[in-house]
Structure 1
Amino acid sequence: MKIIFFGDSITKAGTLNKGYIDLLQNKINKGGNAVELIGAGINGNKVYDLYLRLEADVIDFNPDIVVIYVGINDVWHKMAGVGTEIEKFEEFYRAIIKKLQSKNIRVVLCTTSVIGEKPKKNTQDADLDAYSAVVTNLAKQLKCPLVDLRSAFKNYERSYNSKNKTAGILTTDGVHLNDKGNQLVAEEMFKILMPVGLG
C-alpha cells in the first residue's frame, strides 16, 4: 500500500519529525500495516501547481491512495493579488481528481484549515469557508472520502483559544502547523484513512 500526500508547505513539513505524515506513519507501523507514506508538498503551491506536477510527482509513483491537501495559498495569496479565483480553484481541483480516478487511484480530499486562528473573525475566514465548501461538494460529486479539517480546526479553536489569539494554538504563524496542529491533522486523517485502506 502506497499513499501520497499532495500539497503545499504544510504537507512538505508534514514529513518532518512530529509532522502529521510522520505521526501517521508511526501510528500505522505500530498497527502492523505495511503502508508507505510519501509527502509530495512544495512551498507556495496552489491548486494549479499541483495540476502541473501531477504526473511527475504523483502518478509516476503508482500510489494506491492520494490525499490532496491544498487551498491555503490559493486563498492567502489573494491578499497580494496572486491567489486563485474560486471558479478556477474548482476547475483545476476537479481535473486533478478525475485524472487520478482515471488511473484507478483512490482520492481523499481535505478542506482548508486556517489563515489566522481567532475563533471570532479572521480576515479570510469567508473565503476559507467558501473554498472548503467547493472541496466538500467535489467530494460528494466525485465520491471521494473527505477530511474536514476546516471544521476540526474551527471546533478546536472555539474550545481552546479563549484569548482569541491569531497564532500559537495549532499553528506557529497562523498557517503552518505546530506540534498540536500536526497531531490534530494526523488524527483527522487517520479516522478517514482507516476505512479507506488501512483497516
Structure 2
Amino acid sequence: MKKTGLYILFVLIAVIIIPLRGAKGEVVESSLSGQKKGGFENDTAVLKIVAFGNSITAVRSNVQQVFAQRLPALLKNRGINAVVINSGMGGSHSGRLMDNDRIQVKHGLDRFIPDVLNHKPNLVIIGFGHNDAYIDSNRLDGKSRIPLEDYRSNLIYMITELQKTKSKIILVTPSPIARLQRPSFQNIRLSKYAEVVRSLAVEYQVGLADNNKLFLEYNKNGKRYESLLTDGVHPDDDGHQMIAENLVIEIVKIIENKY
C-alpha cells in the first residue's frame, strides 16, 4: 500500500514538472517581452525598447513628454505593443567618467550594462553626441570632451555588444544646437559627430534616426528648428513629438525586417 501511494505521488510530480521542459529536457525560457526570441512575429508580443542617451533622451521638467514617453502610444496606433525604458542621463557623453569628468555623472560606457544590457531589450535607441562634441574652451581649435575617434569607438562597442544579444539598434544623430552663446563652430564640430553616426549605421546595417538632418530641414510657418529648442539645445514638446514620429518610422522598418 505504501509503495502504491509513493508511485502515485511520483506520477503526479512528473505530470507537473515535465510540461515545464522542452522536448530534449531543457528548461523552456519565457522571454520578458512575451515574444519569440530573435523576432517580432508574435502579434501579442510586447516590444521592449531602451532609450539610451543624454539629456535629450532624459525626462525634463519643462517638457510634458520626451520622445521616449511618446513612443508607446504612437506605436500602439500602428498596432505595436511596446514598453520603453528611459535610460537617458543629463550631461552624459558616450564614454566613461575617467575619459572626461567635467560632468560628474555615470556616462555611457559606465552604465551600459546596468542601464541597457541588463534589461535584455529587443531594441535599443542610442543617442549621444552633444556632450561628446562640445568644446568647453569655446575656441575654434579647442578640444571636444570626447575626441571624434573615441566617440566612434564607444558607439562601435555598444553596437557590437548589442548585436551579440540579437538586439536591434537605432542610432540617433545629435540634433543641431542654436544659441548666441554657442557659436557656429560648435555646430560644425557637432556635425562631424553626426556624420560618424550615419557612417556606422551603414557599416553595421542598423537603423538610423537622423535628428540632425530632421531639425535642419524643419520649416513650418516660416519657423526654423531654433523655434523647437527650449534653450538652444533641448527640444520642446513639438520637437520631441517630431523625434518620436520619426523613430516610429524606423521601428516599423525594423519590425518588417528591413535591417
Shared fold, TM over 0.5: yes
Partner residue, 2:75: 28
TM-score (norm 2): 0.68
Partner residue, 2:199: 137
Q: 1:67 aligns with which of 125, 131, 146?
A: 125
What's the secondary structure of 2:184's corresponding residue? Answer: coil
Residue 18 in structure 1 maps to residue 65 in structure 2: yes
Mapping of 1:42-61 within 5 angstroms? 42-48=89-95, 49-61=107-119
Structure 1 vs Structure 2: percent identity of aligned residues? 26
Letter in 1 for 2:243: V
- Range with greater deviation from structure 2 (130-139 or 8-17): 8-17
Partner residue, 1:86: 148
CA–CA distance in structure 1, aligned partners of residues 119 and 206 of structure 2:
20
**Root-mean-square deviation over aligned CA pairs:** 2.6
Larger radius of gyration: 2
Given that 1:14 and 1:22 are in contact with CA atoms closer than 8 Å, whether structure 2 keeps it comes out as: no
Q: 1:113 aligns with which of 175, 188, 196?
A: 175
Q: State the Cα distance separating 1:141 from its structure 2 match.
A: 0.7
What's the secondary structure of 1:43's corresponding residue? Answer: coil
- Range with greater deviation from structure 2 (77-86 or 137-146): 77-86
What's the secondary structure of 2:109's corresponding residue? Answer: helix
Aligned length: 193
Mapping of 1:173-184 within 5 angstroms? 173-184=231-242
Mapping of 1:163-182 within 5 angstroms? 167=226, 169-182=227-240
Letter in 2 for 1:83: R
Larger RCO, structure (CA 8 Å, separation 6 or more): 1
Residue 38 in structure 1 maps to residue 85 in structure 2: yes
Q: State the Cα distance separating 1:30 from its structure 2 match.
A: 3.5
CA–CA distance in structure 2, aligned partners of residues 32 and 192 of structure 1:
15
Q: 1:4 aligns with which of 46, 50, 60?
A: 50
CA–CA distance in structure 2, aligned partners of residues 159 and 149 of structure 1:
20
Partner residue, 1:97: 159
CA–CA distance in structure 2, aligned partners of residues 145 and 14 of structure 1:
26
CA–CA distance in structure 2, aligned partners of residues 159 and 123 of structure 1:
28
Partner residue, 2:26: none
What's the secondary structure of 1:11's corresponding residue? Answer: coil
Letter in 2 for 1:103: T
Structure 1 residue ranges without an equivalent (≥5):
none
- CA distance 1:30–1:52, change in 2 (3 Å): same
> Whose helix proportion is higher, 1 or 2?
1
